[in-house]
Amino acid sequence: MEISPDVLVKGKDYKIEDIAGADYMLKENKKIELVDIIDKKSTTEIIKNIKKLSS
CA-CA distance, 34 to 19, in Å (whole number)? 10
Q: Is residue 8 within 8 Å of residue 33, measured between CB atoms? A: yes
* pTM, full prediction: 0.64
pLDDT value at position 40?
A: 65
pLDDT digits (tens, 9 = 90+) for 6-43: 999 998 989 999 999 999 999 999 999 999 888 767 78
